[in-house]
Amino acid sequence: MTKYLLDVDTGIDDALALVYLASLPDTEFVAVTASPGNVDVQQVARNTLAILELCGRRDVDVAVGAEGPLSVPLVTTPETHGPQGLGHAVLPAPAGTVSGRHAADLWVEAARARPGELTALITAPLTNFALAIRREPRLPELLGKVVIMGGSFYHQGNTTPTAEWNTHVDPHAAKEVYAAYRGLPLERLPIICSLDTTERMEMKPEHLRRLAEEARCPAPELVLPEQPEGVRSTAGNPLVRHLSDALRFYFEFHRHYDQGYLAHVHDYFAAGVAAGTLDCSTRPATVDVEVESTLLMGTTVADYRALWGHPFNARIVSENHPEAAFDELVTAVGSLARRLG
Ligand code: BDR
Ligand code: CA
């Protein structure tokens, strides 16, 4: 089994990441914690519970942590993920409830209990992760593989011209997290999935159509650019229907920003890297985050050549393979949808 600690801000692509991990036969969710980001943290937790339940994962500990970023006010993004965070999808209210524990406590306890065994995936601002490291500074040594979706290096930002969303929401947390990894051996350094490679992950209506076929849906799942915005799926398969409604919103959002009728599914890619199912190459670097300049707030900088004279603190994904990644998504999630019916 791969035992995961996840921190998410669900979010359409976070939802896809959760569904993908839930579709793998060897996934154990030790805890899934909520950071504020795409939507407020209570909504993140509700969405996360609802998505896990949709996938048949009813007994997962879902906990909230911080209500907002460490040092700046919270900004959410309903225009990107919809008012509730799941686009046009309306899921049944979850039966489960949120744990009474603080997200950071859950992370620290789980990591202490199973040193070196847990795979950590953060597809949200790094607020809870920074708080967990404050509580247990040895956390970077206690976790196994760590994968972070965040940052933008030699690539334009998606929030400001130079900054990526997760890092921009809580730049101080990101700076603390990267600082905590300085000087650790290479194999302990977090793997960073930045926009440089996640924006290559262009999910298209075609992928949804194939996924529904894999799920053995009787009618083709057609999400078409010429359809009016907000048309809802009529698929009988609930997982296909909700993913289709969520992703349609994401396609519409990207089109509004002249990126085409497609969606960058950043967090799914990071989930595949965490699971080890998606091939990628990485390059070690020293990463730091700008937290003072108004112009460059939340911008991530990578020093690949040790020009700052600091030890490396991250491994940045330098190459990925989107076509193989979408084949994997279609097969894995399509067969989960078929099993769930
Ligand atoms: C990141 O920002 C969020 O909106 C997405 O869920 C993803 O984690 C991409 O910049
Ligand atoms: Ca996210």
Strand partners, 122: 7, 148
Closest CA to 324 of 284, 274, 273: 273
| CA 117 to ligand 1 centroid distance, Å | 26
Q: For residues 297-320, give the mean pLDDT.
A: 98
pLDDT of residue 99: 97
Q: Which range of residues forms the domain containing residue 331?
A: 2-201+262-340
Q: Two tokens at 324?
A: 């193989």
User: Is residue 248 one of the residues assigned to a domain?
Assistant: no
| CA 165 to ligand 2 centroid distance, Å | 9
pLDDT of residue 249: 98
User: Is residue 120 one of the residues assigned to a domain?
Assistant: yes
Mutation probe of ligand 1 site: the residue of 12, 13, 169, 195 with most atoms within 8 A of C-beta: 13
Q: State residue 17 phi and psi, 5-degree precision.
A: -60, -45
CATH of the domain at 179: 3.90.245.10
Strand partners, 119: 4
Q: Say how many CA atoms lie within 13 Å of 249 toward its Cβ.
A: 23
* Band (330; pLDDT cuts 50, 70, 90): very high
For the whole model, what pTM was predicted? 0.98
- How high is the mean pLDDT of the chain? 98
User: Is residue 51 one of the residues assigned to a domain?
Assistant: yes
User: Is residue 256 one of the residues assigned to a domain?
Assistant: no
Interval 102-118: pLDDT, tens: 999 999 999 999 999 99
* Eight-class DSSP state of 233: P
Strand partners, 193: 149
Ligand 1 pocket (Cβ < 6 Å) reads 11, 13-14, 38, 80, 123, 149, 158, 164-166, 266-267
pLDDT of residue 180: 98
Q: For residues 183-212, give the mean pLDDT.
A: 98
| CA 287 to ligand 2 centroid distance, Å | 20
User: Is residue 219 one of the residues assigned to a domain?
Assistant: no
Q: Which amino acid would we find at residue 143?
A: L
For atom 10 of ligand 1, which residue has the closest CA?
Answer: 165
pLDDT of residue 240: 98
* Band (213; pLDDT cuts 50, 70, 90): very high
| CA 331 to ligand 1 centroid distance, Å | 24
User: Is residue 97 one of the residues assigned to a domain?
Assistant: yes
Q: For residues 32-48, give the mean pLDDT.
A: 97
User: Is residue 221 one of the residues assigned to a domain?
Assistant: no
Q: For residues 60-71, give the mean pLDDT.
A: 97
* Band (92; pLDDT cuts 50, 70, 90): very high
Closest CA to 109 of 63, 73, 42, 177: 63
Total domains in the chain come to: 1
Percentage of the chain beyond pLDDT 70 is 100
Give Cα separations from 275 to 34, 191, 270 (angstroms): 20, 12, 9
Q: For residues 262-268, give the mean pLDDT.
A: 98
User: Is residue 150 one of the residues assigned to a domain?
Assistant: yes
Other beta carbons within 10 Å of 279: 13
* Band (131; pLDDT cuts 50, 70, 90): very high
Alpha helices in the chain (DSSP H): 12-23, 41-54, 78-81, 103-113, 127-135, 139-142, 165-169, 171-180, 195-198, 205-214, 238-256, 266-275, 322-340
pLDDT of residue 26: 97
Mutation probe of ligand 1 site: the residue of 162, 195, 267, 317 with most atoms within 8 A of C-beta: 267
Strand partners, 320: 280
| CA 209 to ligand 2 centroid distance, Å | 24
Atom of ligand 1 nearest to the CA of 164: 10
pLDDT of residue 67: 97
Q: Report whether the peptide linkage leading into residue 11 is cis, meaning its omega lies within 30 degrees of zero.
A: yes
Closest CA to 64 of 39, 93, 82: 39
Rg over alpha carbons for the chain, rounded to the nearest Å, is 19
pLDDT of residue 255: 98
Q: Two tokens at 155?
A: 């690539």
